[in-house]
Amino acid sequence: MPSDTDETTILVERSSTPAYVVYPHRFYVLFVFSFLTFNQCTIWLTFSPIARKTEIFYNVTESTVDLLLNWGNMVFIPCLPLTSILLDRPNGLRYCVIILAITGFLATLSRILPSLIVSSSNLNFTSISLPFIHAGQILNAACGPLVMAPVSQLSSIWFAPHERTRATTIAVFANYLGAAGGFIINPLVVASPEHVPRLLYIHFGLAFVACVLTLLYFPAHPPTPPSAAAELFMTIPADNENSSNSRTFFKDIWKCLTTPAFLLLSTAGGLLYGAFGAWTSLYDVLLEPENYTEQQAGWFGFASLMAAIAGGLFLGYLADMRRFQHSLKILTLISIVGCLLAIIWFELCVRSLFYDRHILSSTPFTIGLSTALAGLFSGAASPLIYEALAEIMYPLPESISASILVEWINTVGLIFLFVAPNRAKLVNFLVLVVVVVSIILVLFTRFTYKRRDEDERKRIEKEQKQIINQNVLNQPAIGIINEEEEEQQKHYGTFN
């Protein structure tokens, strides 16, 4: 007859079943999404790293090349609300990703059509090509919200709470990786003006592969939710068809903008990354008086972006550790302060708005290290801000908080792009002011962890229910065993 100790051991072992499970194909989902966001940024940055060769090949001016880049910010802003509304509908993430894949493919197809239709030596080549090129860039720009708004939602739906920050980091920085690759790969592929179509064909091939992978398999959500937050999102929209209408969307936006903590933190993030993105794009102008070439400036930009990815991955891993899961504020502040110190170092090594000579030694090592550190610390804070905003506004969908953040980023970036022409030194000073303001805003932000606390509460509650249910199921079986043993004992006792 089993002892009481044995019986207890059996029950404990059976109750160890996790309340929530994750599935291996979450990594495939993250890979496909990251591949798409990598492509989107690479396509957006097609012509700027090869601006002079583009001007010769298409016989256009520098302003035309700048417009091809600026479509990204201009189209992004009006398209973002539509993306947010779609994300909040049942299976919205899947629909957004499919639209992203197909639109990205059509964008690259539009850009190669002129080379298929007419020879570059034709007198009408420029007039025929430009409408297709602009159409491709506009279509790709419309994909911007589709790669930036869903990052927090994807990580919440597919990944466990202790994996979410890292998943968000990878989804965010795949876009950075596309920009970093564009700075280096584009000039290597386009060695002369007539090689421009080669780059367009490469982008077409990448977009085709990504589109096929998406259409072959990209489920709306896992079979079962990996957390309480995912469970809430996966069940509520299906039960309430009106939960995703535009009225609810604008009501949620208003709730975000009237929440002081959210308003402070999203403003800080928008200012920081909008200004920082414009500032890094001006490296070649800022460094020209110091006799650095465009190629060197491109390498500095590449190093900064790669450092940002490394910083984001490291701090994302740190923030997912149980010890630091409620330390987003201090980690964010450390990162932004580090970014500020690196920018100050850079600005002391170049001519500024207030002095015509650099104060500190300006060498490739000091410039490269200061820009890399600025990228490292700014990148480290980025996924933390995404996750903190989702925590503050829970149980609102993560897409709402992410959408408002990226809207601020693109609005600030667009303002800086209008200020930038012939005012590089002013932008160099303004980015310093913006980082200081961002630090102050984060200091006054009250960080809360509603989503993580609710996930933990629901997990414990669910596991306790499993134990109770298992006890109920096991009780009759134990009783039957005890009765059988008693009968055997009586039988053997009688026989003896």
Domain ranges of the chain: 23-235, 245-473
Q: Is the pLDDT of residue 126 over 80?
A: yes
pLDDT tier for residue 79 given thresholds of 50, 70 and 90 = confident
6 phi and psi angles, rounded to 5 deg: -65, -40
If phi > 0 it is left, if psi is from -120 to 50 it is alpha, else beta; for residue 387 that is alpha
Q: What does the pLDDT read at residue 236?
A: 56
Architecture field, domain 245-473? Up-down Bundle (1.20)
Q: Is the pLDDT of residue 241 over 50?
A: no
Q: What does the pLDDT read at residue 444?
A: 94
pLDDT tier for residue 238 given thresholds of 50, 70 and 90 = very low
**Mean predicted confidence (pLDDT) in 313-335:** 88
What's the CATH number of domain 23-235, 2.40.160.20, 1.10.490.10, 1.20.1250.20, 1.10.1060.10? 1.20.1250.20
In sequence order, what are the residues at sequence separation of 6 or more whose Cβ sits closer than 8 angstroms to the Cβ of residue 384?
A: 165, 315, 316, 319, 328, 331, 332, 335
Of the listed ranges 151-160, 230-239, 362-371, the least confidently predicted one is 230-239
Q: What does the pLDDT read at residue 402?
A: 85
3-state secondary structure the chain: CCCHHHHHHHHHHHCCCCCCCCCCCHHHHHHHHHHHHHHHHHHHCCCHHHHHHHHHHHCCCHHHHHHHHHHHHHHHHHHHHHHHHHHCCCCHHHHHHHHHHHHHHHHHHHHHHHHHHCCCCCCCHHHHHHHHHHHHHHHHHHCHHHHHCCHHHHHHHHCCCCCHHHHHHHHHHHHHHHHHHHHHHHHHHCCCHHHHHHHHHHHHHHHHHHHHHHHHCCCCCCCCCCCHHHHHHHHHHHHCHHHHCHHHHHHHHHHHHCCHHHHHHHHHHHHHHHHHHHHHCCHHHHHHHHCCCHHHHHHHHHHHHHHHHHHHHHHHHHHHCHHHCCCHHHHHHHHHHHHHHHHHHHHHCCCCCCCCCCCCCCCHHHHHHHHHHHHHHHHHHHHHHHHHHHHHHCCCCHHHHHHHHHHHHHHHHHHHHHHCCCCHHHHHHHHHHHHHHHHHHHHCCCCCCHHHHHHHHHHHHHHHHHHHHHHHHHHHHHHHHHHHHHHHHHHHHHHC
pLDDT tier for residue 300 given thresholds of 50, 70 and 90 = confident
Q: What does the pLDDT read at residue 135?
A: 94
Q: Is the pLDDT of residue 176 over 90?
A: no
Of the listed ranges 330-339, 391-400, 479-488, the least confidently predicted one is 479-488
Q: What does the pLDDT read at residue 194?
A: 87
What are the pLDDT digits (tens) for 137-149? 999 999 988 998 8
Specify the higher pLDDT residue, 235 or 102. 102
Q: What does the pLDDT read at residue 475?
A: 63
**Mean predicted confidence (pLDDT) in 373-388:** 91
As a whole number of angstroms, the distance between CA 99 and CA 226 comes to 25
Q: What does the pLDDT read at residue 323?
A: 84
As a whole number of angstroms, the distance between CA 267 and CA 444 comes to 12
Q: Angle, nearest 10°, between helix axes 62-87 and 125-142?
A: 30
Q: What does the pLDDT read at residue 244?
A: 46
Q: What does the pLDDT read at residue 261?
A: 93
Q: Is the pLDDT of residue 246 over 50?
A: yes
pLDDT tier for residue 375 given thresholds of 50, 70 and 90 = very high
Residue with tokens 């933390």: 384
Average pLDDT, the chain: 82
Reported pTM: 0.77
Q: What does the pLDDT read at residue 17?
A: 63
Q: Find out whether 62 and 205 touch, Cβ atoms under 8 Å.
A: no
Q: What does the pLDDT read at residue 94?
A: 92
Q: What does the pLDDT read at residue 212?
A: 96
Closest by alpha carbon to 264, among 80, 435, 439, 81?
Answer: 439
Q: What does the pLDDT read at residue 440?
A: 96
Taking the alpha carbons of 460, 466, 469, 474 in that order, is the dihedral positive or negative? negative
Q: What does the pLDDT read at residue 69?
A: 82
**Mean predicted confidence (pLDDT) in 89-99:** 89
pLDDT tier for residue 272 given thresholds of 50, 70 and 90 = very high
What are the pLDDT digits (tens) for 26-62? 999 999 999 999 999 999 888 888 888 888 888 888 7
Query: What six digits make up the tokens of 492?
Result: 């053997």
Q: What does the pLDDT read at residue 443?
A: 94
What are the pLDDT digits (tens) for 401-443? 888 888 888 888 888 877 766 677 788 888 999 999 999 999 9
As a whole number of angstroms, the distance between CA 481 and CA 492 comes to 17
What are the pLDDT digits (tens) for 444-470? 999 988 888 877 777 777 777 777 777
Is the bond into 395 cis (omega within 30 degrees of 0)? Answer: yes
C-alpha distances (whole Å) from 152 to each of 42, 68, 147, 406, 477 are 22, 29, 11, 12, 46
Q: Is the pLDDT of residue 302 over 80?
A: yes
In sequence order, what are the residues at sequence separation of 6 or more whose Cβ sits closer than 8 angstroms to the Cβ of residue 132?
A: 110, 111, 113, 114
Q: Find out whether 199 and 18 touch, Cβ atoms under 8 Å.
A: no
Specify the higher pLDDT residue, 492 or 191. 191
Which of 156-170, 368-382, 450-464 has the highest mean predicted lDDT (pLDDT)?
368-382
Taking the alpha carbons of 229, 234, 236, 237 in that order, is the dihedral positive or negative? positive
pLDDT tier for residue 164 given thresholds of 50, 70 and 90 = confident
Closest by alpha carbon to 409, among 312, 260, 266, 308?
Answer: 266
Same fold, 23-235 and 245-473: yes
Q: Residue 216's CB: how many other CB atoms inside 10 A?
A: 8
What are the pLDDT digits (tens) for 57-67? 888 887 888 78
